[in-house]
Structure 1
Amino acid sequence: MSLLPEYGDDAFQLLSHYLVKTAESMSNGFSASNPFLSQLIPLAFSSDVILRLILTQSAAHRAVLHQAKIDNVASGHYSKSVKLFRERINDHITGTEVNPLMLAVGALIMCFTETAKGDINGVIFDHLSASTSLLLEALRRQSPTIPKELKDFLVEYYSYTATLSLISIDIDVTSQSLLNPELEELAHQLVLSQYVGSLCGCWLELLLLIPKVFELGRQWRFCDQAEDEELTTSRPMNKLAETFASFASLHCRILRWSPHPSYTIDGALAGRIFQQALLLYLYTSVDSTGHVTGPNYGSLIEATVAESMSLLDQLSPTLRINTSLCWPIAIIGSCLHDKIRHQKLRSRLNTMLSTIGLGNIRQTLKILEHVWSRPSENAGPWCISKVMQDHQIWISFA
């Protein structure tokens, strides 16, 4: 690192921390190799932007892991990396920066830097938006020259972040989908190839159903609004029939999914936890309010919650694979009504925070604490975005 004096005296320590701790915390350990090392480190030594961003991510993670807050070193690196990244984006816009791949990778690293920090201002959504266009451009222009392992990892990285961030969007405000259709198709190709990754494990197929459940919830609200307004035309009735058909199709696809027998016990458990959380997300989508106490699926929801908690009990909170579980824990937690279960999840998240050291684990618990303080009729997965709005906390569960 003495050859790179512009990165500061602490660069060697930060790089060492990244290699030993941060990369391990970002990867859930599902795949044999860790792409945060095997794919990103070579890029870091060919791009000052990537190296700076990796050092920033390491500094943010080290601060949270050791001190539970962002220190001056992390803040300094963050400011410098954001400035450098903006300069490269401006160069790209003016045509002087000709490598969109490095910028796309940089934008994705910025997403997980916000995850490491535990940012509550929604900055990750800006980085995700930037990564979409940059990654599309890079794949269209450079796809033949991008190694397959790197390409697959970037598609996984993007799809994982986009799908798990969708629940933070208020469905009553916008129908926006964070997952680009072209990149979504590439993710479906990964599913067909039986891809397993360090972010999505074996459950990428389930992640790609999240936007479809989100759209179903939006459609259901349209049907309810049409009924409230006493619209008796054929269009709302046809829409209602389509919505029921979509629900049945999604329900079948989620139930049909199963982890491959060759996967580890812990990996299969994590996949099952995602499956149960996605079922809860689906069941609560058919109530116009998104609550979990309505008459439609109350007993089914409670049975799914019980199964989810049983699966969580079988998976130690100290395992690396927990780094991928903030989304299902948030979904499951939003459906809990008794204090004993609240305390079990609270203890689990605190153990995950002390072991993994990512700031979004702390923020996930804060969101759940706000959900648990609400009446049960105002809880549930579809109320998470409203809780964020009420308390001005904008996070991603990626």
Structure 2
Amino acid sequence: MPSTKRLRTEPIVRVRTGCWACRRRKKKCDEAKPVCGGCVRNRLTCQWPSSVLGVPDSAAVTATTTPYTESHAHGLEHVSRAQHRTSSSPGTPSAASSSTSSDSAVSPEEIPRDMDLPMDERNTPTLATLASRASSADTVPPPIIASTTALTIGNALPRAMSMMPDHGLDAYQLLSHYMATTADCMANGSTPINPFLVQIVPLAFSSDLLLQLVLTQSAAHRAFRRLKDSDEVAQSHYTKALQLFRRGVTEFIEGKESNPLILTVGALVMCFTETAKGDMNGTIFDHLSAAHSLLLRLLAQSDAAVPKDLKDFVIEYYTYTAAVSMISIDARVSQQVLLNFDLEQKARQLLEVGYVGNLCGCWLELLLLIPCIFDLGRHWMVMPSNEDQLPAIVPTADEIAMYGSLQAQIMRWSPYPSVSPEVFLAGRIFQQAMLLYLYTSLGGYARSRTGMHHMLVQTAIAEAMSYLTQLSATARINSGLCWPIAVVGSCLSDVDQQENLRQRLTTMVSTFGLGNMHRTKLLLEHMWQMPLEEAGPWNICRAMEQNQIWISFA
């Protein structure tokens, strides 16, 4: 005889007052606190909601009056639903006035799925995510601050920890601006990986000094883009950065700090901070001098002390900045050496592996010839006893041989076939600028209007202007072209060609917002007013002196 089944006459009542573990397992909870029987039997973490069915208990009341409660010890973080309503339904009275205790209740359906995971495995936004969400108006997602209630970003609950505990809201905005804008403007895009992000940012979060320098660079760049010469935030960060950097250098000299890596990178970041702000007082040369000494100390350490990619980038960083800055030095009177033999050899080791960088592109070999040309021109530029007389150039046999060798190296050079078309064009522009730099060293401060020398100069100008025409003024590679543009521009006498460069630099300034681009344009405007015999790249330093525009072309 079949057994009779007892029909259930009363509805199933699901208990919604148990711990989260029992709810997830769909098991009845005996609600024993602090650990229920089910969690004891199954060795689970027993976690409890802050309130039950909208009725606040003592924990919920505490949560509404203090930012963090004891529930954080069990991995729970409270979400402000009132803020969520305001963001999703702006303008509604209920969203604006929802502040009752029921708003602090969190139902199981509203708990993010990754709440069950450990903190390290949750979907916490990365720095890159924060940067990608930054708008052109320099807005930044709500910061993660330990002293305020945790904020919801997407469906994830951020860590109750500040990335920059000693900085205010403006620091988050500046970091966002750096990652979304400044880092892209500093790199020329020659490689898909931007070292100003993947190398500098992680290093900055290991050092308060370097983090401050990065924020300062971002503030200077943002201020120039906004055309605010008296930006208080930028000035405040700049002052603080100088103080910290000087203190760091002092401690290094006194032996209190033995690792020169942070200071070396910091000095280079300060160089590009001057580039971003468009400083005209030559401050970049002070930072470059400090970077020179620090880099020598850094390279004296074992190869295991610094990751190879980072060390290669630091070598490229300094080599590029030093090489393009030498043109600002008066070869007739200065014995300053920005790139000595040891540093040059380190850079040549990069050439052996076909190095392509976000500063030197594929033309590192050309940049390493600048000190050789500078030294050659220095020998030929003997100051005359009478200013109305031209210096008498009597090159020696060795100097003639050196000139021929340098010309052959430059003309033989070719961009790597694997680089992008924009990088290829930029390499050709650098090549023609290097030829101009070499040709004008032979002619001193005068330039013959006839003969072989004049033809060589005019050919290099025409080639360089042709390559510039093929390259869009808004392409990222332009961020590294101030040096060849200044060299070519200093040789121009044709009004149409001058206007071509003028418009190009204007577009570059509006696109990248880098101060050195504007100063390059300003300097060329002065040079175009000078007599033809005072033109050429070897007169750039003289134009700087006459007009008090001391800049680097980095």
Q: TM-score, normalization: structure 1?
A: 0.94
Residues 229, 264 of structure 1: CA spacing in aligned structure 2 closer, same or farther, 3 A cutoff? closer
2:203 aligned to 26, 43, 49, which one? 43
- What is the one-letter code of the residue matched to 1:211? P
Contact 1:290–1:381 at 8 Å: present in 2 too?
Answer: no
One-letter code of the match for 1:31?
Answer: T
Alpha-carbon distance in 2 for matches of 1:55, 1:127: 17
Query: Quick one: distance in 2 between partners of 1:165 and 1:148?
Result: 26
Find 1:277's aligned residue among 433, 441, 461.
433
3-state SS in 1 of match to 2:457 = helix
Alpha-carbon separation, structure 2, partners of 1:168 and 1:254: 21
- Deviation of 1:245 after TM superposition, in Å, equals 0.5
Compute the displacement of 1:188 (Å): 0.5
- 1:274 is paired with a residue whose SS is helix
* Higher helix fraction (1 or 2): 1
Q: Describe the SS at the equivalent of 2:226.
A: helix
Alignment partner of 1:155 is 2:311:
no
Question: Within 5 A, what are the aligned runs for 1:130-149?
Answer: 130-149=290-309
Q: Tell me, yes or no, if structure 1 residue 261 matches structure 2 residue 417.
A: yes
Distance of aligned partners of 1:336 and 1:93 in 2 relative to their CA distance in 1, 3 Å threshold: same
* Per-residue deviation, 1:41: 0.6
Structure 1 residues 52 and 304, CA gap change in structure 2 (3 angstroms): same
* Distance apart, 1:143 and its partner CA: 3.0
- Asked if structure 1 preserves the Cα contact closer than 8 Å seen for 2:384 and 2:391, the reply is no
Give the aligned partner of residue 177 of structure 2.
17
1:252 pairs with 2:412: no
**CA contact under 8 A between 2:445 and 2:536: conserved in structure 1?**
no
Give the residue type in structure 2 aligned to 1:114. Answer: E
- Deviation of 1:97 after TM superposition, in Å, equals 1.6
> In structure 2, what residue type is equivalent to 1:327?
W
Aligned equivalents of 1:395, 1:5: Cα separation in 2: 36
CA distance in 2, matches of 1:313, 1:300: 20
The residue that corresponds to 2:285 in the other structure is 125
Deviations 1:173-215 (A, max 9, x none): 1132211221110101101110000000000000000111111
1:187 aligned to 335, 347, 359, which one?
347
- The question of 1:297 aligning with 2:453 is answered yes
Q: Which residue of 2 aligns with 1:85?
A: 245
Structure 1 residues 34 and 76 mapped into 2: Cα distance closer, same or farther (>3 Å)? same
Partner of residue 265, structure 2: 105
| Structure 1 residue 197 corresponds to structure 2 residue 353 | no
Aligned residue type for 2:248: R
Superposed displacement of residue 222, structure 1: 4.7
Q: Does residue 397 in structure 1 map to residue 553 in structure 2? A: yes
Name the aligned partner's letter for residue 120 of structure 1.
Answer: M
8 A contact 1:60–1:70 mirrored in 2: no
- Looking at structure 1, the residues matched to 447 and 172 of structure 2 have their Cα atoms a distance apart, in angstroms, of 50
SS of match in other structure, 1:170:
coil
2:474 and 2:179 map into 1 onto residues whose CA distance is 19
How many residue pairs match? The answer is: 391
What is the CA-CA distance between 1:8 and the residue it aligns to? 2.8
Instruction: Kindly provide the amino acid, as one letter, of the partner of residue 317 in structure 2.
Output: Y
CA–CA distance in 1 between the matches of 2:344 and 2:446? 26
Conserved 8 A contact 2:447-2:454:
no
Q: Is the 8 A contact 1:292 1:379 kept in 2?
A: no
The answer to which of 318-327 and 166-175 deviates more is: 166-175
Which piece of structure 1 moves more, 330-339 or 62-71? 62-71
CA distance in 1, matches of 2:443, 2:432: 18
User: So what's the TM-score if we normalise by structure 2?
Assistant: 0.68
Structure 1 contact 199–324 (Cα < 8 Å) conserved: yes
541, 544, 549: which one pairs with 1:385? 541
Structure 2: how far apart are the matches of 1:269 and 1:86?
A: 40
The structure 1 residue matched to 2:505, chosen from 349, 353, 360, is: 349
Secondary structure, counterpart of 1:317 in structure 2: coil
C-alpha deviation, 1:47, in angstroms: 0.4
The one-letter code of the counterpart of 1:207 is L
Q: Does 1:96 align with 2:252?
A: no
Q: Indicate which of 473, 484, 488 corresponds to 1:317.
A: 473
Whether the 8 Å contact between 1:191 and 1:204 is mirrored in structure 2 is yes
The structure with the larger Rg is 2
- Residue 397 to residue 31, structure 1, CA distance change in 2 (3 Å): same
Paired position in structure 2 for 1:241: 397
Letter matched to residue 431 of structure 2:
Q
Give the distance between the partners of 2:372 and 2:182, measured in 1 at CA: 32
Which ranges of structure 2 fall in alignment gaps of 5 or more residues?
1-142, 146-161
Give the root-mean-square deviation of aligned CA atoms: 2.0
Distance 1:394 1:230 in 2: 25
Cα pair distance change 1:70/1:148, threshold 3 Å: farther
Q: 1:61 aligns with which of 221, 233, 236?
A: 221
Query: What amino acid sits opposite 1:275 in the alignment?
Result: Q
* Separation in 2, partners of 1:324, 1:21: 16
Structure 1 residue aligned with 2:521: 365
Q: Deviations for 1:64-93, whole angstroms, at most 9, x for unmatched residues?
A: 122263511111100000001111111111
- 1:63 Cα offset (Å): 1.0
Structure 2: which amino acid aligns with 1:330? Answer: A
Are the equivalent residues in 1 in contact too, given 2:328–2:550 (CA < 8 A)? yes
> Which residue type is aligned with residue 310 of structure 2?
L
